[in-house]
Structure 1
Amino acid sequence: MNILKSKQGQAMPDKTQFFKSEAFEKIDYTEIRWMGNASMMINSRGTNIMIDPLLEGFDMPLLIEMPILPKDIPSLDALLITHIDNDHYSRPTCKDVLEVCQSYHAPQYVAKVMKEEGIPGIGHDINDSFLVNDVKVTL
């Protein structure tokens, strides 16, 4: 395995694999895309979920280009936030997909903060389960 490193010796990911609106179309399988940092996108038979998307507005330089920008996301069934650190709860990304995102899910405290900031977060406890279309999510 070839590990890329910066001039300072910091491990770096390979080149960004960009994607466009086609990644959100209905498919006959489940596809998981790493979007950099802690961010993931899941397309499960056309149900689209992003987890901790950090696509813009971070407070320090990132080592990769983002694979898609919020303005290019056609629709999201759900956006899941794992915790409140700004490399997981990207306020700019969450706000910029408000028009295309059907639901926001997070731990109770994060959902409370989201609501205070104008993002309609739904709070969950450990071991809670909920559905996003036909996809069951368990915390």
Structure 2
Amino acid sequence: MLIWLMGFLSAVTVICNLGYQKYYRPDLFVQLIQQTSSTPVLIATTHKTYIHTGEMMGVAREIKLANLLQNPLFLLAHQGQDPNTSTIALANTLKKLPRPFDLWLVNFHAPVAEAVKTCVTSDTKSMPSVDGYEYKLYHCQ
């Protein structure tokens, strides 16, 4: 009986983020997006490994569970040896989307100046930091 009780308490601490904190917090990031963006959103990241996929899956799961955002779009811009492949993928995607929308670059490690030249950057320094998510916000009109 004691083993079952200890197993149950261990499971509760992990599930409720009491004993094992993840290094990233998609729940806080989704709340930030919901509070900041009043237009449709595109969440983009560079994609090198399955870690990047997992981080975006965490964001997508939180959006689905909270049911806060209407039809968010995601872009996993594959990044090989040349970081410009991610920049080109982002630029091509931005050209095709109807405006207005908010672009959230999350852990995006590629040059973006040319891709987002038609969008206005937002001051993210005044916004809270979120563990595991380095982000920039652009308003595309």
User: Is TM (by shorter chain) over 0.5?
Assistant: no
Bigger relative contact order, structure 1 or 2, given CA contacts below 8 A and separation 6+? 2
The structure having more radius of gyration, on CA atoms, is: 2
Q: Greater share of strand residues, 1 or 2?
A: 1
Q: Greater share of helix residues, 1 or 2?
A: 2
TM-score (structure 2 length as normaliser): 0.28
TM-score (structure 1 length as normaliser): 0.28
